């Protein structure tokens, strides 16, 4: 199986402007015709729903009269060579009409409407107008399926996960000023290339960005030439895990997951290939290997869908599972590790690293972590406070942290964790 690089594209109004879609921000755009808060805010809807309906009915009619442009078409064609996901601030359907297949609409979709009371009650309406007083199935007033100022952006969390998994990030048609969408770039891994297509010079201090100073259509044409170099590059290291052991000749780990698994035991023997069909931690498969001599060695594990790694070994001195976006459970017991970096492991749900020698634990940008047990380590009060400050907000379960038997347990500020919705045992 060929694993194609993950290309994530953030798009904004600029990519649709060349198709004739009016924008708010440009000269002659919609802001000069309407007060934005009158037609694109929840307050405006509550004050004058008829005006808001007319505004979106006109935009829907305009959408029916335009076509995708070259930039939309190039993004669709890139799916032949890359695993492409588009995260768009646009509410039009031009990406879909151009042939792109994986699209996340942050701000909703113009060709859909929904209940005013139930955001999950959504219907397709195409390009037709919503009639005055038209009702949804639950009897509430039918409204455009768009996100207005003053409303939450429900797709922002899935978008964060998508960006964090990218091998290449492209930004086109947006100037990185509209939040929360503009903050998505901060979830991209630090070592991936980021391209920005915009005709205006943009200074961004957060990271190294390669700008193509062109409008969307010509900029995308230039980008396709640049991306050809990535097709010949080495495959993504995203699914690779490395464990370093010191002075041990008998190695043992447990793994769970689905699909093909390759293990390089680091002693010059041939790589082992296995098929995993046990995704749950309770059915993790043991893998053992006897080396020719006891020495420091690095074990490399490559697999597309590894969901659990468990290791009980005093000789384990380092572990790198960064950006393994399928990993849900990580269990390490009795190791010599002093620091552990699981940042950007966006599926990680349970992290248990106990009775080791950790002095630093980095869990930044973990989106779904709901259990953390780091008992029996060497974490100071400062290290624990830093850990608490970077914990994700629990999404569905009450978070649980276990920190007993660390030097800083009694002096750390547990309220930091408790205020974020966790409780400390």
Tell me the three state secondary structure of residue 403.
Answer: coil
- Other CB atoms closer than 10 Å to residue 330's CB: what's the count? 23
Confidence at residue 397, expressed as pLDDT on a 0 to 100 scale? 47
Tell me the three state secondary structure of residue 198.
Answer: coil
Structure token pair of residue 144: 């455009």
Structure token pair of residue 316: 């384990």
The string of DSSP codes covering 331-380 is EEES---SEEE-TT-TT--EEEEESS--SEEE-TT-SS--EEE--SS---
Which of 151, 143, 159, 346 is CA-nearest to residue 238?
A: 346
The one-digit pLDDT tens for each residue of the chain (425 residues) are 346 789 999 999 999 999 988 765 554 555 456 788 888 899 999 999 999 999 999 999 999 999 999 999 999 999 989 999 999 999 999 999 999 999 999 999 999 999 999 999 999 999 999 998 899 999 999 999 999 988 999 898 889 889 988 889 999 988 766 666 678 888 888 778 999 999 988 776 567 889 999 999 999 999 999 998 887 654 444 468 889 988 888 888 999 988 888 999 888 888 899 988 888 888 899 999 988 777 878 899 988 789 999 999 899 999 988 767 788 999 999 999 999 988 767 778 899 999 999 999 988 766 678 889 999 999 999 999 988 888 776 554 456 789 999 999 999 998 888 877 787 87
C-alpha pair distances (Å), 291 with each of 252, 295, 299, 320, 350? 11, 9, 11, 21, 31
- Alpha-carbon distance of 241 to 263, in angstroms, equals 10
Structure token pair of residue 211: 């700008």
- Alpha-carbon distance of 151 to 37, in angstroms, equals 12
Structure token pair of residue 347: 């599926």
In this structure, is the dihedral angle defined by the CA atoms of residues 27, 29, 34 and 39, taken in order, positive or negative?
A: negative
CA atoms within 13 A of residue 238's CA, in its CB half-sphere: 23
Cβ(85)–Cβ(9) below 8 Å: yes
Angle separating helix axes 216-231 and 70-77, nearest 10 degrees:
20
CA atoms within 13 A of residue 99's CA, in its CB half-sphere: 11
Confidence at residue 233, expressed as pLDDT on a 0 to 100 scale? 56
- Alpha-carbon distance of 133 to 332, in angstroms, equals 60
Confidence at residue 383, expressed as pLDDT on a 0 to 100 scale? 93
Domains of the chain and any CATH numbers: 6-231 (3.40.50.1220), 240-424 (3.80.10)
Q: What is the largest CA-CA distance in the chain?
A: 80
Catalytic sites, residue numbers: 107
């Amino acid at each position: 199986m060929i694993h194609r690089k993950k290309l994530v594209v953030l798009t904004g109004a600029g990519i649709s402007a060349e198709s004739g879609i009016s924008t708010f921000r440009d000269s002659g755009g919609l802001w000069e015709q309407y007060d934005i808060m009158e037609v694109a805010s929840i307050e405006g809807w509550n004050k004058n729903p008829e005006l808001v309906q007319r505004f979106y009915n006109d935009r829907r009619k305009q959408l029916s009269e335009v076509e995708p442009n070259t930039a939309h078409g190039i993004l669709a064609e890139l799916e032949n060579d890359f695993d492409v996901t588009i995260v768009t601030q646009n509410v039009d359907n031009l990406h879909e009409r151009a042939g792109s297949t994986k699209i996340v609409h942050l701000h909703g979709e113009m060709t859909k409407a929904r209940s005013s009371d139930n955001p999950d009650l959504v219907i397709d309406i195409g390009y037709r107008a919503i009639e005055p007083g038209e009702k949804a199935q639950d009897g509430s007033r039918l409204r455009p399926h768009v996100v207005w100022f003053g409303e939450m952006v429900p797709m922002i969390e899935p978008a964060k996960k998508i960006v964090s998994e990218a091998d290449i990030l492209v930004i086109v048609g947006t100037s990185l000023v509209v939040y929360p969408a503009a903050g998505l770039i901060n979830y991209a891994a630090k070592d991936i290339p980021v391209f920005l297509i915009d005709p205006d010079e943009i200074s961004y201090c957060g990271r190294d960005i390669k700008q193509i100073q062109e409008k969307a259509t010509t900029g995308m044409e230039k980008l396709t030439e640049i991306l050809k170099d990535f097709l010949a590059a080495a495959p993504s290291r995203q699914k690779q895990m490395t464990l370093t052991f010191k002075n041990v000749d008998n190695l043992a780990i447990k793994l769970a997951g689905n699909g093909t698994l390759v293990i390089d035991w680091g002693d010059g023997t041939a790589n082992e290939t296995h098929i995993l069909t046990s995704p749950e931690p309770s059915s993790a498969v043991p893998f053992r290997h006897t080396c020719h001599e006891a020495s420091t060695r690095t074990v490399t594990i490559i697999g597309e869908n590894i969901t659990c790694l468990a290791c009980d070994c005093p000789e384990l001195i380092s572990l790198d599972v960064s950006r393994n976006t399928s990993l849900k459970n990580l269990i390490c017991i009795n190791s010599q590790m002093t620091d552990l970096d699981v940042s950007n492991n966006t599926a990680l749900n349970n992290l248990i690293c106990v009775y080791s020698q950790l002095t630093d634990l980095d869990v930044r940008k973990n989106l779904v972590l709901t259990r953390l047990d780091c008992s029996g380590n060497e974490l100071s009060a400062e290290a624990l406070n830093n850990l608490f400050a970077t914990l994700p907000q629990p999404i569905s379960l009450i978070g649980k942290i276990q920190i007993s038997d660390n030097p800083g347990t009694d002096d750390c500020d547990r309220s930091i964790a408790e205020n974020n919705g966790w409780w400390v045992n």
